[in-house]
């Protein structure tokens, strides 16, 4: 999904995926769903899309594991 939105995979390190946008840091998401990000419009658009998709996942609480750290 990220690549189709113009993000580049910069690194995967100790379970954390780092994404760049136009050669600069955009977001880092670890395996728990915690996220550090730069407030680019494209990052927020992708977060919104992921949240919509997660609603379709059949388990108790769709927010479980999702944490936005700023």
Residue that wins the pLDDT comparison between 58 and 23 = 23
Q: What is the pLDDT of residue 53?
A: 86
pTM: predicted TM-score of the whole model, two decimal places: 0.71
Cα 58 from Cα 2, distance rounded (Å)? 23
Judge whether residue 68 has pLDDT over 90.
no
Q: Is the dihedral of CA 5, 67, 11, 14 positive or negative?
A: negative
Q: Is the dihedral of CA 58, 3, 68, 30 positive or negative?
A: positive
Average pLDDT over residues 30-50: 91
Confidence of residue 44 (pLDDT cuts 50, 70, 90): very high
- ∠ Cα 11 16 18 (to 5°): 40
């Amino acid at each position: 999904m990220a690549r189709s939105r113009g993000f580049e995979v910069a690194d995967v390190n100790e379970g954390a995926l780092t994404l760049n946008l136009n050669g600069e840091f955009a977001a880092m998401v670890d395996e728990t769903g915690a996220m550090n990000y730069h407030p680019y419009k494209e990052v927020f658009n992708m977060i919104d899309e992921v949240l919509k998709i997660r609603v379709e996942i059949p388990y108790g609480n769709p927010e479980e594991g999702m944490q936005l750290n700023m």
